[in-house]
């Protein structure tokens, strides 16, 4: 009963006219605060919108002005400007070693790597490397990690006085734009990669340019490097044109013709490859076009004085290689032995040398000999890497006896255990089968 009386008393108090007035005033004040808040926020939003619009207008004006004042290829145009400045200053041309021989080149490079960089390589490895450069513009360095694959390519650039360009291949690469760059529609600029700059720069120079594709098979080589593989097959160097953009602007760089740049003949691509679970197998398409160098062990250190770099022009190197080919004829007896091996492999394994491999042999052997090596060692190297390697893709479980017969043929044709690399390759394949 008392509780009811208390509630009634409170109700009577709250319903008095004075409290009703207070309620109405509070509601009006709250509504006024809400209206003022909305108006302030609208003003702020309107000011922000105007600032954004002005910022966009300024950006667009800057882009429009940039299109008129500068090219979409900033770095390539800078190379043009540097060349023009060199011509205006009439600087003397860069001196090159003109009287060097291929044998002298191999020895000088090996000694430079050891004496200056503390990198040690067998002379046979250096000969294979130099002879490989004469055969193809694509070299694949294979072997265990830590054996000096990347270092060899790096050392060669230092030796020439034109540092190598290292391109770390990324796992997601799938097309040539990953190597050359792409056009940005918003900035109206082309995102120029280091490789594109070096390709453009190499077109106006005599230097040998070395591009290292580090861990090249961490992505599929036949995808991102497909256009390069095709162009390097074209016999005439001047016809090897890379498409950079699909149109032409009046202020494009000088050497960019209708959006295309020439793939320079003085540039070599050297890829390092590891064979593990994180990499892709390199296809025959790539292997057939490239020269392969296996570096499976570290070489013993040796003492040699510190040597200076020896700048060798690309045209000088190619002339030396061509002179070696012209001045050396592979013995008819050697060619006859090759035909016998070819017939055996074709009949038993459907593997043939093919025109490309025979052409490579016809260049590799003379250049390797000019580098100071022996013809038989060069032939052993080529057959093991370019021909017998293809046996690994076949199922030879029930054909081991034929592999034994192949070893016997090598011994009969070339002498007992003379073709060491070929015999080692065939015996390894037999064991794995």
pLDDT of residue 63: 46
- DSSP code string of 98-138: -S--HHHHHHHHHHHHHHTT-----HHHHHHHHHHHHH-SE
Name which of 204, 304, 196, 277 is nearest 242 in CA terms. Answer: 196
145: Cα within 13 Å, side-chain hemisphere: 5
Q: What distance, in Å, lies between the first and last C-alpha atoms of the chain?
A: 104
Distance in angstroms (rounded) separating the CA atoms of residues 336 and 342: 10
pLDDT tens digits for 361-393?
999 999 999 999 999 999 999 999 999 988 887
Tell me how far apart the alpha carbons of residues 382 and 398 are, in angstroms, rounded to a whole number.
27
Residue 379: which of 120, 60, 128, 39 has the closest Cα? Answer: 128
Reported in sequence order, the residue ranges of 44-156 that DSSP labels E, i.e. its strands, are 138-142
Task: Give the per-residue pLDDT at 415.
Answer: 94
Q: Are 331 and 227 in contact (CB under 8 A)?
A: no
DSSP 47-69: HHHHHHHHHHHHHHHHHHHHHHH
Token look-up 């570290």 returns: 298
C-alpha 128: how far from chain center: 21
- Specify the pLDDT at position 320: 97
Distance CA 132, CA 199 (A): 21
Taking the C-alpha atoms of residue 391 and residue 36, their distance in angstroms, rounded to an integer, is: 85
Q: What parts of the chain have a pLDDT lower than 50?
A: 45, 48, 52, 55-56, 58-60, 62-63, 66-68
Which class in CATH covers the domain with range 74-294?
A: alpha beta
pTM here? 0.82
pLDDT recorded at residue 44: 58
Spell out the domain ranges in the chain.
Answer: 2-69, 74-294, 328-432
pLDDT at residue 68 in the model = 45
What's the longest Cα–Cα distance across the chain?
131
pLDDT for position 117: 93
Residue 66: its pLDDT value, please?
45
Please give the radius of gyration of the chain, using alpha carbons only, rounded to the nearest integer: 35
């Amino acid at each position: 009963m008392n509780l009811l009386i208390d509630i009634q008393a409170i109700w009577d108090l709250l319903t008095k006219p004075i409290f009703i007035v207070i309620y109405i005033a509070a509601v009006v004040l709250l509504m006024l605060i809400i209206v003022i808040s909305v108006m302030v926020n609208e003003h702020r939003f309107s000011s922000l919108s105007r600032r954004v619009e002005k910022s966009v207008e300024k950006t667009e004006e800057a882009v429009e002005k940039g299109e008129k004042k500068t090219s979409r290829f900033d770095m390539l145009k800078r190379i043009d400007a540097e060349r023009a400045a060199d011509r205006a200053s009439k600087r003397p041309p860069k001196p090159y070693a003109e009287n060097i021989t291929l044998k002298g080149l191999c020895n000088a490079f090996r000694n430079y790597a050891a004496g200056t960089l503390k990198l040690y390589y067998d002379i046979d490895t250096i000969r294979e490397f130099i002879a490989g450069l004469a055969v193809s513009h694509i070299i694949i360095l294979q072997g265990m990690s830590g054996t000096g694959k990347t270092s060899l390519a790096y050392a060669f650039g230092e030796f020439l006085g034109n540092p190598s360009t290292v391109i770390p291949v990324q796992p997601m690469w799938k097309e040539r734009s990953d190597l050359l760059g792409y056009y940005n529609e918003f900035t109206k600029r082309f995102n120029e990669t280091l490789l594109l700059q070096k390709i453009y720069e190499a077109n106006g120079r005599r230097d040998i340019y070395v591009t290292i594709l580090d861990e090249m098979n961490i992505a599929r080589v036949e995808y991102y490097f497909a256009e390069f593989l095709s162009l390097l097959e074209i016999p005439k160097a001047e016809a090897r044109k890379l498409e950079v953009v699909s149109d032409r602007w009046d202020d494009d760089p000088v050497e960019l013709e209708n959006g295309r740049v020439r793939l320079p003949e003085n540039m070599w691509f050297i890829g390092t490859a590891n064979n593990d679970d994180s990499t892709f197998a390199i296809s025959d398409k790539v292997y057939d076009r490239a020269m392969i160098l296996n570096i499976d062990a570290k070489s013993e250190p040796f003492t040699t004085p510190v040597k200076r770099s020896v700048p060798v022009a690309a045209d000088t190197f190619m002339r030396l290689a061509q002179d070696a080919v012209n001045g050396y004829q592979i013995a008819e007896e050697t060619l006859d032995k090759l035909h016998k091996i070819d017939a055996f492999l074709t009949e038993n394994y459907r593997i043939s040398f093919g025109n490309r491999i025979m052409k490579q042999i016809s260049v590799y052997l003379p250049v390797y000999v000019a580098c100071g090596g022996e013809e038989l060692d060069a032939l052993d190297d080529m057959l093991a890497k370019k021909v017998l390697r293809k046996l690994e893709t076949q199922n030879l479980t029930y054909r081991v006896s034929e592999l034994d017969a192949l070893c016997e043929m090598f011994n009969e044709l070339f002498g007992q255990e003379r073709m060491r690399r070929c015999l080692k390759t065939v015996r390894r394949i037999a064991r794995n089968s």
